[in-house]
């Protein structure tokens, strides 16, 4: 997700390039909205950024404000054009476009309420609920910022959001700060906001600060105006951003994710050593961790897996069938590197177990003598409700199998996970600044029972409540 306010710059093209830097955050659809002070237009398509925009689209972008989005669905169908973002809607005499990263947990309740007030929905996403609430409150308060503020008082869950009218760009973030959102400056010409710092680097913007949890930042002809719209809660940045989701060259909590991942690899080398001939990483996020493991253990690092860069990330493909195809398409073992060797294979996580099982099989078929899996996160036992599609708990292998049983299922000679403590220590920040609910079951934002029951074992709900 990206936003720019920069008179004199080609903001449409800038957003297009920034979305390339953020492509890893979503691959199902891409969209850009541009405004010139009077008119706001949106172009969006299913598919990757490079497929979604044609040369004539780029040439047609005119204006000084833009937002862009790459979508990865956690609510709503992934194949519907209507669900692609930015969402566009009318607010009084204005038009707004909104792009949202995260997941609301009280969407159903709010939708019912809004439908009762005569609001009609075109999509099935929580992002449209956000837009509808802003539409609802803005005329009443005669101010878009007030409309956003009132919306933030009602919605619960994770939302890092960019919203634009014909005249201004707004960025706002949930009071827990679950998804990242950073603010950057473009020399003297303007401002940008982005999900990750790697997008600032690409457009030549300098990182200024994070958009604070519970804050609204408005960027317009009046410059930057910021307000604490709702009180900040316990900081709960998603720790999965460190482990897997964000790009290694992005910075979160003053820490480059490449370094954090290296430290995770080094930590598991200390906690779960093994005799082996070579350490390999599963591209992409396992690679820095594997170099950390190799340095710490003294076992040489090798490139044992070639990755096809033009296939989407398996974890975020929308269906199991696509995931299975994705695994086959994505990785190919380098037989001359791994043949006859005892391997330490470093990966970031095991979610459902099928990807890792297939990987171990591929490595054995390529001649590996032993396969020792080292995972730089703790077992994923709890579903995410805040924007990472870990699906329901019954699909999470660690929620119903022990570590030994998982090792047997995936066919590894040994398997070890990083501890919660080592994971947090590797980030350089303290546990109190993170959401780590998929490992601990401690959800920072309360999940309504109706939402929780759809994704959790009932006995597990009880277990959590019993502590
Ligand atoms: S539950 Fe897990 S994936 Fe979801 S926000 Fe928390 S740490 Fe991130």
Between CA 135 and CA 95 the distance in angstroms is: 10
Which of 101, 436, 445, when mutated, tests ligand 1's pocket best, judged by the most ligand atoms within 8 Å of its CB? 436
Helix (H, G, I), strand (E, B) or coil at 101: strand
Claim to verify: residue 138 and residue 12 sit in the same structural domain: yes
Claim to verify: residue 183 and residue 305 sit in the same structural domain: no
Atom index in ligand 1 nearest the CA of residue 387 equals 4
Q: In what order do the strands lie in the sheet with 215-220?
A: 87-91, 94-101, 160-164, 169-173, 215-220, 223-228
Ramachandran quadrant class, 45 (left: phi over 0; alpha: psi -120 to 50; beta: rest): beta
On whether residue 347 sits in a domain, the answer given is yes
Which of 351, 384, 390, 436, when mutated, tests ligand 1's pocket best, judged by the most ligand atoms within 8 Å of its CB? 384
Helices 286-297 and 257-271, interaxial angle, to 10°?
50
Instruction: Give the CATH number, domain containing residue 397.
Output: 3.40.50.2020
Distance between Cα 141 and ligand 1 center (Å) = 34
Distance between Cα 176 and ligand 1 center (Å) = 12
CA within 13 Å, CB half, 42: 24
Atom index in ligand 1 nearest the CA of residue 239 equals 7
- Token pair 């809004």: residue: 114
Atom index in ligand 1 nearest the CA of residue 241 equals 8
On whether residue 13 sits in a domain, the answer given is yes
Length of the chain equals: 467
Distance between Cα 443 and ligand 1 center (Å) = 8
On whether residue 69 sits in a domain, the answer given is yes
On whether residue 439 sits in a domain, the answer given is no
Distance between Cα 239 and ligand 1 center (Å) = 6
Claim to verify: residue 147 and residue 107 sit in the same structural domain: yes
Q: Write down the pLDDT at residue 119.
A: 76
Atom index in ligand 1 nearest the CA of residue 382 equals 1
Distance between Cα 74 and ligand 1 center (Å) = 13
Helices 320-330 and 354-365, interaxial angle, to 10°?
30
For ligand 1, atom 4, name the residue with the nearest CA.
384
Identify any residues that bridge with 259 across adjacent strands, giving them in sequence order: none
Cα distance between the two ends of the chain: 36
Domain boundary among 233, 251, 283: 233
Token pair of 18 as six digits:
């920034």
Nearest CA to 35 out of 4, 70, 81 is that of 4
Atom index in ligand 1 nearest the CA of residue 178 equals 5
Token pair of 25 as six digits:
């955050």
Claim to verify: residue 319 and residue 266 sit in the same structural domain: yes
Claim to verify: residue 334 and residue 414 sit in the same structural domain: yes
On whether residue 188 sits in a domain, the answer given is yes
Q: Write down the pLDDT at residue 460.
A: 46
Claim to verify: residue 92 and residue 46 sit in the same structural domain: yes
Q: Please give the full DSSP string across 283-319, using - where no structure is assigned.
A: TTTHHHHHHHHHHHH-PPB---EEE-TTS--GGG-SS
Distance between Cα 265 and ligand 1 center (Å) = 20
Instruction: Give the CATH number, domain containing residue 172.
Output: 3.60.20.10
- Residue 467 CB neighbours (<10 A): 6
Give the count of domains, the chain.
2
Distance between Cα 387 and ligand 1 center (Å) = 8
Q: Write down the pLDDT at residue 380.
A: 96
- Token pair 């719209």: residue: 229
**30, burial (CB in 10 Å: exposed 0-12, middle 13-18, buried 19+):** buried
On whether residue 228 sits in a domain, the answer given is yes
Contacts of 132 (CB under 8 A, 6+ apart): 89, 114, 119, 121
Token pair of 466 as six digits:
């019993």
Token pair of 124 as six digits:
């099935």
Claim to verify: residue 211 and residue 82 sit in the same structural domain: yes
> Cα 442 from chain centroid?
19
Ligand 1 binding site (Cβ under 6 Å of any ligand atom): 178, 238-240, 384, 386, 388, 435-438
Distance between Cα 381 and ligand 1 center (Å) = 11
Decide: 108 and 155 in contact? Cβ < 8 Å: no
Atom index in ligand 1 nearest the CA of residue 383 equals 1
Contacts of 321 (CB under 8 A, 6+ apart): none
Nearest CA to 26 out of 9, 2, 10, 8 is that of 2
Claim to verify: residue 320 and residue 395 sit in the same structural domain: yes
Identify any residues that bridge with 416 across adjacent strands, giving them in sequence order: 374
CA within 13 Å, CB half, 292: 26
On whether residue 454 sits in a domain, the answer given is no
Nearest CA to 259 out of 16, 89, 428 is that of 428
Claim to verify: residue 266 and residue 208 sit in the same structural domain: no
Per-residue pLDDT of the chain (467 residues; tens, 9 = 90+): 999 999 999 999 999 999 999 999 988 889 999 999 999 999 998 889 998 898 899 889 999 999 999 987 665 555 577 778 899 988 878 899 999 999 999 988 888 888 888 777 777 788 888 998 998 899 888 899 999 999 999 999 999 999 999 999 999 999 999 999 999 999 888 999 999 999 999 999 999 999 999 999 999 999 999 999 999 999 999 999 999 999 999 999 999 999 999 999 999 999 999 999 999 999 988 999 999 999 999 999 999 898 877 665 544 455 655 555 556 677 888 999 999 999 999 999 999 998 899 999 999 999 999 999 999 999 999 999 998 877 789 889 999 999 999 999 999 999 999 999 999 999 999 999 999 999 999 999 999 988 888 788 644 443 333 22
Distance between Cα 238 and ligand 1 center (Å) = 5
Between CA 433 and CA 176 the distance in angstroms is: 9
- Residue 389 CB neighbours (<10 A): 17
Nearest CA to 80 out of 19, 28, 26, 145 is that of 28
DSSP state of 454: H
Give the structural domain span for 98: 2-233
Contacts of 408 (CB under 8 A, 6+ apart): none
Atom index in ligand 1 nearest the CA of residue 240 equals 8
Ramachandran quadrant class, 465 (left: phi over 0; alpha: psi -120 to 50; beta: rest): alpha
Claim to verify: residue 228 and residue 281 sit in the same structural domain: no
Atom index in ligand 1 nearest the CA of residue 436 equals 7
Distance between Cα 213 and ligand 1 center (Å) = 16
Claim to verify: residue 182 and residue 61 sit in the same structural domain: yes
Q: Where are the alpha helices (DSSP H) in 171-319?
A: 197-203, 240, 257-271, 286-297
Claim to verify: residue 35 and residue 179 sit in the same structural domain: yes
Between CA 67 and CA 337 the distance in angstroms is: 45
Distance between Cα 25 and ligand 1 center (Å) = 15
Which of 101, 213, 239, 418, when mutated, tests ligand 1's pocket best, judged by the most ligand atoms within 8 Å of its CB? 239
Decide: 104 and 152 in contact? Cβ < 8 Å: no
Between CA 285 and CA 405 the distance in angstroms is: 25
Which of 104, 388, 442, 445, when mutated, tests ligand 1's pocket best, judged by the most ligand atoms within 8 Å of its CB? 388
For ligand 1, atom 7, name the residue with the nearest CA.
436
Distance between Cα 379 and ligand 1 center (Å) = 13
On whether residue 445 sits in a domain, the answer given is no
């Amino acid at each position: 997700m990206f936003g720019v306010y920069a008179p004199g710059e080609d903001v449409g093209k800038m957003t297009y390039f920034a979305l390339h830097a953020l492509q890893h955050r979503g691959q199902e659809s891409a969209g850009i909205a541009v405004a010139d002070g009077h008119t706001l237009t949106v172009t969006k398509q299913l598919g990757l950024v490079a497929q979604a925009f044609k040369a004539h689209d780029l040439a047609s972008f005119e204006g000084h404000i833009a937002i862009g989005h790459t979508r990865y669905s956690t609510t709503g169908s992934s194949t519907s054009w209507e669900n692609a973002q930015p969402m566009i809607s009318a607010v009084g005499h204005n038009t707004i476009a909104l792009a949202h990263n995260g997941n609301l947990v009280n969407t159903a309740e709010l939708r019912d309420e809004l439908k009762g007030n005569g609001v009609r929905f075109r999509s099935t996403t929580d992002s449209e609920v956000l837009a509808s609430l802003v539409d609802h409150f803005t005329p009443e308060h005669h101010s878009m910022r007030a409309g956003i503020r009132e919306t933030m008082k009602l919605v619960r869950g994770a939302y890092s959001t960019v919203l634009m009218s014909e005249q201004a760009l707004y960025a706002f973030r949930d009071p827990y700060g679950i998804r990242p959102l950073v603010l950057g400056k473009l020399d003297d010409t303007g401002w940008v906001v982005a999900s990750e710092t790697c997008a600032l680097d690409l457009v030549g913007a300098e990182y200024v600060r994070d958009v604070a949890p519970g804050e609204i930042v408005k960027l317009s002809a009046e410059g930057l105006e910021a307000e604490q719209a709702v009180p900040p809660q316990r900081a709960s940045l998603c720790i999965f951003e460190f482990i897997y989701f964000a790009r290694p060259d992005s910075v979160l909590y003053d820490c480059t994710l490449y370094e954090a991942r290296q430290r995770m690899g080094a930590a598991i080398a200390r906690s779960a050593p093994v005799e082996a001939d070579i350490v390999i990483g599963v591209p992409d996020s396992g690679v820095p961790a594997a170099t950390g493991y190799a340095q710490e253990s003294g076992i040489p690092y090798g490139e044992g897996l070639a990755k096809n860069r033009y296939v989407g990330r398996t974890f975020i493909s929308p269906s199991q069938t696509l995931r299975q195809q994705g695994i086959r398409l994505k990785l190919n073992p380098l037989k001359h590197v791994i043949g006859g060797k005892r391997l330490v294979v470093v990966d970031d996580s095991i979610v459902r177990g099928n990807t890792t099982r297939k990987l171990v099989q591929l490595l054995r078929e390529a001649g590996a003598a032993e396969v020792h899996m080292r995972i730089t996160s703790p077992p994923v036992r709890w579903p995410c409700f805040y924007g990472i599609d870990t699906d329901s708990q019954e699909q999470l292998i660690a929620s119903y199998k022990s570590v030994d049983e998982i090792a047997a299922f995936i066919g590894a000679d040994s398997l070890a996970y990083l501890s919660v403590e080592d994971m947090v220590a590797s980030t350089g920040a303290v546990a109190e600044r993170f959401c780590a609910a998929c490992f601990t079951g401690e959800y920072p934002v309360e999940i309504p029972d109706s939402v929780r029951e759809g994704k959790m074992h009932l006995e597990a709900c009880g277990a959590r409540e019993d502590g």
